[in-house]
Amino acid sequence: KDSFSLWLNQNIQDAEELAKMAISSAERRLRAATKVVRKKLVSGPALPGKLADCSEQDLSKTELFLVEGDSAGASAKQARNREYQAILPLRGKILNTWEVSADQVL
């Protein structure tokens, strides 16, 4: 027998404690692997239904593309990097703010 097996046989109480620690650690790893991490939206409003969100949680590393309509949104969704680029299709005619007064914009 190897020296570790001999030690386990001579120190039964320590061996049982070591086995319990190993089993507990393995159970924690399994629970962590199967746990589904959901995005927490408790601090802000609900996201729009047509938003194609990105997976990055750090807002300083993300980009939001506003596109005109669903057809442009579909093309943009295919070309984006899902890790850090989000797409939001807008409805209606977008106002050209260079050609109108401040009263019309606001």
Number of domains into which the chain is organized = 2
Among the listed residues 57, 52, 39, 47, the one whose alpha carbon sits nearest the alpha carbon of residue 79? 52
CA atoms of 23 and 18, how far apart (whole Å): 9
Q: Let me know whether 50 and 89 are in one domain.
A: yes
Entry pTM: 0.48
Res 42: pLDDT:
46
Q: State pLDDT tens for residues 3-33.
A: 989 999 999 999 999 999 999 999 988 887 7
Res 83: pLDDT:
92
The answer to whether residues 69 and 90 touch, using CB atoms and an 8 Å cutoff, is yes
Res 23: pLDDT:
95
- Domain assignment present for residue 57? The answer is yes
How many C-beta neighbours within 10 Å does residue 89 have? 20
Counts of helices then strands in the chain (DSSP H, E): 4, 2
Q: Where does 1-106 show beta strands of DSSP type E? A: 63-68, 85-90
- Domain assignment present for residue 89? The answer is yes
Question: What residues make up the domain containing 69?
Answer: 44-93
Res 50: pLDDT:
83
- Domain assignment present for residue 27? The answer is yes
Buried residues in 47-73 as b, exposed as e (16+ CB within 10 A): eeeeebebebeeeeeeeebebeeeeeb
Q: State pLDDT tens for residues 36-78.
A: 554 444 455 666 778 888 888 888 899 999 988 888 888 898 9
- Domain assignment present for residue 28? The answer is yes
Res 12: pLDDT:
92
Q: For residue 83, is it left (φ>0), alpha (ψ between -120 and 50) or beta?
A: alpha
